[in-house]
Amino acid sequence: MTNESIVRTKTRRLKIQWAPYVLILPSLIYLATFFAWPMVRAIRLAVWDEGALLTLREEAATRGQSAGALPQGASIALLDRQSIIAEPGEPVGGEVLTETWFRVQGNDSNGNPVEGWSPESRVRVRATDDEGAPTGGSIRPKLGAAADPLTSLYAEPNENSAVTGKLNSGATVVIQEQADLEVWFLIEGQRDGKTVTGWAPSRMLQIYGDGVSGRIDTGDTGQFTLTYIQRMLNDRFFRPALSTTLLLMVIIIPVQFFLAIIMALVIQARLKFNTLFLAIFAIPLAASDLAVGIVWYSIFTQSGYLNSVLQALGLLSSPVAYLTADTRHWIIVAIWLAEVWRATAIVMVIVVSGLQAISQEVLEAAEVFGANLWQRVRHVILPLLKPSLQVALILRTILALQVFAVVIALSGGEVVTVLANETYRQYYTLRNMNVAAAYAGFILLISMFSAVIYLRMVRSQEEANP
């Protein structure tokens, strides 16, 4: 159909056209955003440990020179502490230690006005504005005989900066500004047998009760890792999920093709109620997989239709429980029937369109020369249908890897599990995005393998009949 229109439009090829590119641009952008990019993200989630390393700094500053890095979980010793203005954005992980400093203005003991920064611990807030921000207060008295009775004000919210003035205890001050500081620690730890020393923000660290030791809670630099993939492979549900998925694929697909070809042949016979048959055969095409799972649940559940019929026929004395942990094989049978029921329609539609493309003369010729039904199917129809069957096969293979809702409906997702269900369980129940992504990547890998075959096939077909 398209080929004809291509021939017709061939004359348009002469000049370069922008129109088609403009027309496909939105879909290209959309598919890049919602297909290509998430796919890359999924792989990254599966093999990339976001917080593997914590970069230490020469100075207590976010953009300070790197002084090396320590892996997540490394034990550290705390050597020093300093506060800097917190970076905007929410702190992650660990225990965030913050300090608040005020920029205050007051009169020193000589009556001269002084202004500078003072830690919150030195100022008692006595007045706040409508929004609760402090506006005024007084200097707290210092305790202890040895202490300097005067409170220093600094040029910056940092005890190492220049002193701009000193205030008596009890002096009234105006609070001009408030700064939230984050505490940084000078830490020391071991990496690959070498000692690394540098500054790190408290939010990345876990500080032990003694106040002088701790561990790296989370890093800020990613690193390639196979941990998640290993965790997936060692997951006790991985092997059952993989084997069940493959088993289902192997038992579902041949039956689907067998039924689909028979359906297509019935349609091809051009019976009186041809369109009615076609419409009925196509019904499951639109059926939701969850709904189909429930339909077959109504048949296989203990008080379901299967038991009712068998008992009415006298084949059973009491209802049998099919969908239990002890009867895995019955659950597989139920999933098998449900999937065959649901997805045969897609194969049927592909086969019927393939059959319609075969010229009627070829089939009639075979009939005239005395070929019986089986010979016609085996030697004429199947070879001519090969391209359609291959496409249907790959499509069904990839879709079979995604079986999910039917399994949930029939087994609750515990007794019999499949790869898609494990992805869901890792994500939803265990809240482990990375292992879930590893599962997803694994499904991607198998699908990609099939898709490569699929693409090569389509291409060779397009070359075969240009």
Partner 1 sequence: MTTTNAPPVQVSDEMAQIRARARRRLLVGRAFTYLVGIVLALWVLIPIWLIASMALTTPETVRSYPKSVLPFITFSFDTMQFFLQSRGIVPGLINSVVVAVITLVLSTLIAAPAGYAISRYIFRGRDAFRLSILAVRAFPVVILSIPLAVTFINLGIFDQVYSLALMHTALTLPTTILVISSVFASIPYELEEAAQVFGCTPVQAFRRVVLPLVLPGIAASAIFTFVMSWNEVFAATVLTVQNRTLPAQVLVSLRQSPEPYKFAGGFFMLLPSVIFILFIRKYLFNMWGQISK
Kindly identify the residues of this chain, within the stretch 2-61, that bind partner 1 according to CB under 8 A: 2, 5-6, 8-10, 12-13, 17, 19-24, 26-28, 30-31, 33-35, 38-39, 41-42, 44-45
Q: Which residues contact 20 (CB under 8 A, 6 or more apart)?
A: none
* Residue 420 and residue 442 in contact, taking contact as beta carbons nearer than 8 Å: no
Cα distances from 464 to residues 8, 120, 387, 450, in angstroms, run 20, 80, 11, 21
Residue 401 DSSP code: T
**Sign, Cα dihedral of 333, 336, 342, 344:** negative
Note whether 431 binds partner 1 by CB under 8 A: no
Number of residues that bind partner 1 (CB under 8 A): 117
Biggest distance spanned by C-alpha atoms of the chain = 123
Q: Which is nearer to partner 1, 247 or 278 (CB)?
A: 278
Closer residue to partner 1, CB minimum distance, 173 or 420: 420
x/- mask, partner 1, residues 346-385, rule CB under 8 A, reads x--xx-xxx-xx---------------x------------
Q: Which one, 57 or 203, has the nearer CB to partner 1? A: 203
Residues 400-429 that bind partner 1 (CB under 8 A): 401-402, 404-405, 408-409, 412, 419-420, 423-424, 427-428
Q: Under the criterion CB under 8 A, does residue 271 sit at the interface with partner 1? A: yes
Tell me the closest approach of the beta carbon of residue 392 to partner 1, in angstroms. Answer: 7
Among 98, 333, 387, 415, indicate the residue that binds partner 1 (CB under 8 A). Answer: 387
Asked whether the beta carbons of 396 and 447 are under 8 A apart, the reply is: no
- Residues 156-215 binding partner 1 (CB under 8 A) are none
Rounded Cα distance, 190 and 177, in Å: 41
Nearer to partner 1, 150 or 380 (CB): 380
155 binds partner 1 (CB under 8 A): no
Q: Which of residues 243-262 bind partner 1 (CB under 8 A)?
A: 259, 262
Could you tell me the CA-to-CA distances from 213 to 185, 187, 200, 207, 217 in Å, in that order? 11, 9, 13, 6, 13
The length of the chain in residues reads 466
* Cα four-point dihedral sign 359, 365, 367, 371: negative
Output the smallest distance, CB 459 to partner 1, in A. Answer: 7
CB of 202 to partner 1, least distance (A): 23
Q: Are 173 and 123 in contact (CB under 8 A)?
A: yes
For residues 6 and 15, give the distance between their C-alpha atoms in angstroms, rounded to a whole number: 16
Task: Supply the minimum distance, in Å, between the C-beta of residue 410 and partner 1.
Answer: 10
- Cα–Cα distance for residue pair 355/376, rounded to 1 Å: 13
Instruction: Specify the residue, 226 or 285, whose C-beta has the smaller distance to partner 1.
Output: 285
**Residue list 295-324, contact with partner 1 (CB under 8 A):** 295-299, 301, 303-305, 307-308, 311-312, 319
Return d(Cα 438, Cα 443) in angstroms, integer: 9
Structural contact between residues 186 and 166, judged by C-beta atoms closer than 8 angstroms = no
Least distance (Å) from partner 1 to the CB of residue 328? 18
* Smallest distance, partner 1 to C-beta of residue 210, A: 36
Indicate the residue among 185 and 442 with the shorter CB distance to partner 1: 442
- Pick from 67, 287, 320, 371: which binds partner 1 (CB under 8 A)? 287
Closest approach, Cβ 234 to partner 1, in A, equals 20
d(CA 188, CA 400): 53
Give the closest residue to 224 by CA, choosing from 48, 88, 461.
48
278 binds partner 1 (CB under 8 A): yes
